Structure 1
Amino acid sequence: MDFLIGLLVLAAIVAGIAFVVKRAKAAAEVRRAEQLERDLAPVKRLADEDVTALGEELQDLDLELAGRTLNEGERADYQRALDAYEAAKAAVPAVKKPDDVKHVTEILEDGRYAMACVQARVAGKELPQRRPPCFFDPRHGMATEEVAYTPPGGAERDVPTCALDAERVRAGAEPDIRKVMVGSERRPYWNGGPAYASYAGGYFGMNMLPMMFMGMMIGPGLGEGIGALGEGLGEGIEGIGDGVGDMFGGIGDGIGDMFDGFDF
């Protein structure tokens, strides 16, 4: 009889532990989903602003081409730019995780190159070499050159840049940097946090990121990400510990009450 009671108690303990762990895991999943939504919202908004910027540039291009009959190559590149704009506009609402943003900025980068091809064809020039966008703000369009840039607290590195920002850097002035809000502070997008890595990856290619952003994007942003991850793990472990402690306390009280009726 005592052996059977012991088995029942053990089964209750195992079932209780499984229930507490499952509940803690579900709570952790909810917290992760909420944190993902908070991290993703500003990056998604940034990509949406870039889509709007491309649309405005296409309107300007349309005015440039007004009254002109396009040849086959000009028409194909212009249509490619229009298709890229429509595809990027449709892709933004479908973004569900940071990696999805990369697809949006890849499309935008392709659209801007198509526009540059149209302009070159119309001007009777050779098609431009495909280059990454301006490092300081991808909305500036394709880079025209590389300049040595030293970010505050970082190391010097060569980055692709537009002509205006290259001129600013050489003059010792601050380039026109795309900045984002992180809490109450405005920071360059590359210091916005890990979620912005995908945004940059679509423009510059994931292979280029280590060279261009080492010590910048993965500096304070990565530290904050690791800190948040550690805090979340700590809360999850604490929740499991509290739940298991409460469970064992209840089981202990129940076992004590059960054995009060037995003489040993």
Structure 2
Amino acid sequence: MRIDIEDLYVAYAGRTVVAGAHLIAAEGEITGLVGPNGSGKSTLLRTVYRHLRPSAGRVLLAGTDLRELTPVRSARHVAALPQERGSDFELTVREVVAMGRTPYKRAFEGEGAADREVVARALADVGMEAQAGRRFTDLSGGERQRVLLARAFAQDTDVLVLDEPTNHLDVRHQVELLALLRARRRTVLMSLHDLNAAASVCDRLHVLHAGAVVASGRPREVLTPELMAEVFGVRAALVDHPLTGDPLIAFDHREPAAATPLPGAARR
């Protein structure tokens, strides 16, 4: 399923956080949101998984305004990994992951064989099957992150909305997760702080700055030295990764870039 975000404005606490955003997450592609802290990435994602209501504009799922869908129908199409990580679940790992099956259940309906199979597969996908009986609250930050990802996978939706999915994960599990997302070929809209991970795994990137989309395109087209200086305030060069051939950003960690004003119009 394709996501279209049209002229989106989101405001809260008297402040406009997302201002006139236009972007597309194409069906079966991994679309990344990148930008500095406070640029509006999480706020935009919260409107897609209906935690926030836009003050103007629309979020369309396969051409239908999300606000026209019931919460249950929406949850059968869109699964989310928010940045606000739950930490007070007095449940086992398996019970947390099984919560992903809730949109498919009638009130008081028990778990069936198909549900158990989906949950087991989701736990295996994130390497947590051996921890299924542990309490969620006893896990490390990285383990909790993997369990919450498994819960999103267990929801078995067309669309995954992931806010910093590699947060807290060690390098191996970051690589495994990103490879898993590429293999699943669902529609994925996610925010990432790691620009090299974004350049490697994403089919398309949208760059946010001060609530606006200032650049959109393939990673190699978007992550130019000029944009890195303008948006992120760093000196960088774009080279080819020696192992994969993907675009690789080499940062100058000794000296920031000189301040450069952003252009008035967004790049396309």
TM-score normalised over the length of structure 1: 0.24
The structure that has the greater radius of gyration is 1
Structure number with higher relative contact order (C-alpha < 8 Å, ≥ 6 residues apart) = 2
Q: Which of the pair is proportionally richer in helix? A: 1
Q: Which of the pair is proportionally richer in strand? A: 2
